[in-house]
Amino acid sequence: MSHSETVWIVDDDRSIRWVLEKALQQEGMNTHSFESTSGVLSRLAREQPDAIISDIRMPGPSGLDLLAQIRERYPRLPVIIMTAHSDLDSAVASYQGGAFEYLPKPFDVDEAVSLVKRACLHALEQQSQAPVTEQSRTPEIIGEAPAMQEVFRAIGRLSHSNITVLINGESGTGKELVAHALHRHSPRAAAPFIALNMAAIPKDLMESELFGHEKGAFTGAANQRRGRFEQADGGTLFLDEIGDMPADTQTRLLRVLADGEFYRVGGHTPVRVDVRIIAATHQNLETLVQAGKFREDLFHRLNVIRIHIPRLADRREDIPALARHFLASAAQELSVEPKLLKTETEEYLRNLGWPGNVRQLENTCRWITVMASGREVHIDDLPPELLHQSSESQPSGNWEQGLRNWADQALTRGQTGLLDEAVPAFERIMIETALKHTAGRRRDAAQLLGWGRNTLTRKIKELGMGGDDDEGDES
């Protein structure tokens, strides 16, 4: 921080004002103190500090009243709230009111100072990125990564057609979002978009879900009901997890696609519809076809144009933007201030495996919004299961990616001399695993590793993996 920061202290306790003034001035900051909230707002109209640290309970308007006024008029000014009464209510109220941090009394002076520094730094960052955040509108699908640009191009190319599309992608990658976009940019945009997830419907209800039923068609069918096909007439029907569709429903669907008409369950009059189908699956339909679990003719009908949605791990550059978007929407949903990821936290999230894809990231952001203690999210504020998900939890087949993540994280933490740690670890793991496979026989283990016997013995010695005896060798 180049210029010296100005911090205002608001507290009716003279000794606390004195302690804070001295501690902050020692750190080269300018301070100005108020013994009540009155006077703070009128002074703010003339000049603004880099941060304010305020008590809650004082004669006159409380620190929370002050906070509310500041949030309204100077939303970028960080306010740290102090209170001697560590009651939950004031903490919650100060966060909902948008406090930068919450400091229970009695506090540790060093902690207070480092909090103020963080607040000033935050104010500085806010100013530098102010204009950007104001203009940027959230696009309907977030994605700068090359893998996502391919998806956008496909949506663009298909925007004037009513052609059938099959979307492929793991669970949680956002298949429905892409289907929505295809609909919204199609000639059918004004008509309904109806979604149905095959995996979520009991098999015996699937027919009536899709095609509707007549009154009395089965027990419980008290009225006639229009199915999703009828609801989507003129528009788009999105069938998610199409691989889970039972065989007889597949046959009926094929007939509808061929004839453009169907019968409701228990009905005798054909119903005509004009529906565009977008189907999606996380399974490999070709494999299902080969196994006889999916009709080949239906597969060819659906597989006219295929769009593949990448895994989140294959579009890591989008993770920070997605996280910001989800943190903002979670904050809005819960009526709290959006949390901000520190740079190293963002970097840590970028390097995780994300087996649950974008949905897992969204749930993580909701968790952070509820659970992280401060306004800024540090690595140890993340959900515990993400903290233990370091390189060793990578699927074993993908050790190179795991190693890449480890190196990335180590360099982000400022570590140096990476190979001094990595190479011996790599060799040790290789040797231990080979010896495990040969029940400790070194001659065989050397062969498995592609080394000479002497090289293995030397390495074992260098790595301090036990003496140079040939245990089990001559047996």
* Among candidate residues 227, 231, 242, the one with its CA nearest the CA of residue 164: 242
What are the tens digits of pLDDT across the range 201-211?
Answer: 888 888 888 99
Question: How far apart, in whole angstroms, are the C-alpha atoms of residue 461 and residue 464?
Answer: 5
**E strand or H helix that includes residue 8:** strand 6-10
| Six-digit token string for 288 | 């299902």
Model confidence at 128: pLDDT above 70: no
**What pLDDT is stored for residue 136 in this prediction?**
32
Type of residue at 103:
L
What are the Cα distances from residue 43, in Å, to 66, 165, 335, 472? 13, 62, 29, 83
Mean pLDDT value of segment 69-96: 72
Model confidence at 8: pLDDT above 90: yes
Model confidence at 260: pLDDT above 90: no
* Among candidate residues 436, 432, 444, the one with its CA nearest the CA of residue 473: 444
Model confidence at 396: pLDDT above 60: no
Model confidence at 358: pLDDT above 90: yes
Model confidence at 475: pLDDT above 50: no
What are the tens digits of pLDDT across the range 264-287?
Answer: 988 888 999 999 999 999 999 999
**What pLDDT is stored for residue 359 in this prediction?**
92
* Among candidate residues 24, 110, 99, the one with its CA nearest the CA of residue 63: 99
**What pLDDT is stored for residue 436 in this prediction?**
83
**What pLDDT is stored for residue 161 in this prediction?**
79
Q: How sure is the predictor about 97, in pLDDT bands with cuts at 50, 70 and 90?
A: low
**Mean pLDDT of all residues belonging to the chain:** 84
**What pLDDT is stored for residue 92 in this prediction?**
59
Model confidence at 456: pLDDT above 60: yes
**What pLDDT is stored for residue 213 in this prediction?**
87
What are the tens digits of pLDDT across the range 161-205?
Answer: 788 999 999 988 989 888 988 888 888 888 999 999 988 888 888
Q: Which fold has domain 6-128?
A: Rossmann fold (3.40.50)
**What pLDDT is stored for residue 241 in this prediction?**
93
The answer to whether 377 touches 347, Cβ cutoff 8 Å, is no
What are the tens digits of pLDDT across the range 436-454?
Answer: 888 888 998 999 999 998 9
Rg (CA), the chain: 31
Does domain 314-390 match CATH 3.30.390.10? no
Q: Establish whether domains 147-308 and 314-390 are of one fold.
A: no
Beta carbons within 10 angstroms of residue 114's beta carbon? 12
The answer to whether 56 touches 62, Cβ cutoff 8 Å, is yes
Model confidence at 24: pLDDT above 90: yes
What are the Cα distances from residue 413, in Å, to 255, 300, 416, 418? 59, 51, 9, 12
Q: How sure is the predictor about 90, in pLDDT bands with cuts at 50, 70 and 90?
A: low
Model confidence at 390: pLDDT above 60: no
Q: How sure is the predictor about 392, in pLDDT bands with cuts at 50, 70 and 90?
A: very low
Mean pLDDT value of segment 113-120: 90
Does this model's pTM top 0.95? My answer is: no
Class of domain 414-463: mainly alpha
Q: How sure is the predictor about 64, in pLDDT bands with cuts at 50, 70 and 90?
A: confident
Torsion over CA: 32, 37, 38, 43 (sign): positive
So where are the chain's domains? 6-128, 147-308, 314-390, 414-463
* Among candidate residues 146, 165, 262, the one with its CA nearest the CA of residue 211: 262
**What pLDDT is stored for residue 472 in this prediction?**
45
Mean pLDDT value of segment 222-245: 90
Q: Which fold has domain 147-308?
A: Rossmann fold (3.40.50)
The answer to whether 238 touches 193, Cβ cutoff 8 Å, is yes
- Chain centroid to CA 303: 30
Model confidence at 250: pLDDT above 90: yes
